[in-house]
Amino acid sequence: MKSEPEKKFANKFRACFGILLATGFLSAHAAPQTFPDSSLYQLRSTWITDAGQKLRLADLQGKPRLFTMFFGSCQTACPMVLARLKLLESKLPSDWEQRAGFVLVTMDPGRDDSGGLAAYRKQTDLRTDRYTLLRGNPEDTRELAMLLGIAYGPSKKNGGIEHTVAMILLDRKGRIIRRDESLEDEEGQLKALQSAITDAGH
Amino acid sequence: MSSHMGSSGKNILLTGMLVLGSAFASAKPMVLIPGGDYTPPFPASGDSSRTSTKIRIPAFRLDATPVTIVEYLAFLQQHSEWRKSKVKRIFADSTYLISWKEDLKPSSKNFSSPVTQVSWYAAKAYCEVEGKRLPGTREWERIAQTIPGGQDSAGYNAQILEWYGRPSSKDSSDGKGSTNAYGVHDLFGKIWEWTSDFNREGPEGMISGDRNNAFFCGGAAGSAKPSGVDYATYMRFAFRSSLKPEYSTASLGFRCATEASDEK
């Protein structure tokens, strides 16, 4: 939400160091791309991957993405959701990662740092070209959860996290096209994903 | 070269305004809320003992007053993407600042009134620009549990309920707001306030997705009320659970918080 000062800064910068601009150094901070009004990719927040790379959600455009939120120490719901993702994965064409991706965002950014996310990837065997693991600051994480319709917070009992479960399919421009709040409709979810992948091929 | 000078002159001016702006913003008084215990009004879901355990809330700082119209106007001047003509529908519904005549023209002449008709996303963005954040529900409720003057909780709750029962007034600038023991003004009596996690805590079962619980289905709301929870608190949780983050209603505003250790 710093577009004006950033633009001013960019203008000033451009005047002095035009050549640097060509390197793309400022590209993420230049004038925002336009997305549909209902696109989650309008969010300007910055995220960190398990490889320690910075990312804006807009960087995920171009492919349909299945989002879910999780945390490393989650014992019950998250492993079930992950099992569902792997099941979906097994039913997609073998080169599906070229046309879609799964995005897992931690709802426990305090404990799941990049190293923790990397450990989670290894432990659960998630391919880097298929699964994007993200961590944001607590406020941006909450904001994304609001947009995804996921509620969470510290548990009253055991220091864990209470949360709702949802898997949200976004089209290549970041608009929600399907939400699954339970594991009930596996077939419907798979069909939606397949058709999103087919659409994205055009 | 002269145009170059001109633009850097403008930059200096802009920088000056930004500094002035942030100096103005940081001038908003905040109060230190010491760490302390908070007793959630609702037992943990699945907790058959139906007793609430105390939770430690670390110290934090809170704006002494809700964010006002003039403060929000200053934010809109700097961040045009939050003006009513430009805001994206995903971040604020069609009632966002609906009473404002134009992007930068509030309807109320009393600029020191709390700003309302703002969505959760807008409130979050405002606090972020200030280097702050929205208070958590538990932080907010911990303060609300503090009774001014100490003892008369029944009278205090009656007073809050009397306000909750009144039709919302669009321009609550009568200055009759309350001050709580920590020096927090207008926690009650003027507006409802966004919290960062308004959607996660409420009558038991909410977080597990069981929204159709006894609170809403049980006929008289009182029949589902856990013992020991005052009705005013209950109403706040019920109100919060009815909200969506893009809602921008006439009685709903916000204030910001920071960690106690931040030098803000």
Give residue B262's pLDDT: 52
Is B14–A162 a contact, with Cβ atoms under 8 angstroms apart?
no
Beta strands in chain A (DSSP E): 46-49, 54-56, 65-70, 101-106, 131-135, 152-154, 161-163, 167-170, 176-180
| pLDDT for the residue numbered B241 | 87
Task: Render pLDDT for B36-48 as a digit per residue (tens, 0 to 9).
Answer: 888 877 655 544 4
Split at pLDDT 50, 70, 90, the class of B151 is very low
Cβ neighbors of A30 (< 8 A, separation 6 or more) are: A7, A10
Instruction: Kindly provide the ipTM of the predicted complex, given to two decimals.
Output: 0.81
Residues A73 and A173: their CA atoms lie apart, in Å, by 32
Same domain, A73 and A154: yes
The mean of the pLDDT values for chain B is 75
Selected for mutation to probe chain A from B93, B199, B237 (highest A CB count within 10 Å) is B199
Domain membership of residue A160 as a residue range: 33-200
Domains of chain B by residue range: 30-259
Q: Is pLDDT at B178 greater than 60 in this prediction?
A: yes
Residue B94 has pLDDT above 60, yes or no: yes
For residue B235 the two structure tokens come to: 């109403």
- Note whether A136 and A184 are same-domain residues: yes
* DSSP character at residue A64: -
My answer on whether A11 and A109 are in the same domain is no
The pLDDT assigned to B261 comes to 79
Do B209 and A181 make contact, defined as CB atoms within 8 angstroms?
Answer: yes
Same domain, A114 and A169: yes
- In this prediction the pTM is 0.80
Measured between beta carbons, the chain B residues lying within 8 angstroms of A1 are 79, 81-82, 125, 128-129
Residues A73 and A164 grouped into a single domain: yes
Comparing B20-34, B143-157, B175-189, B236-250, the range with the smallest average pLDDT is B143-157
Q: Please tell me the total count of domains within chain A.
A: 2
CATH code for the domain defined by B30-259: 3.90.1580.10
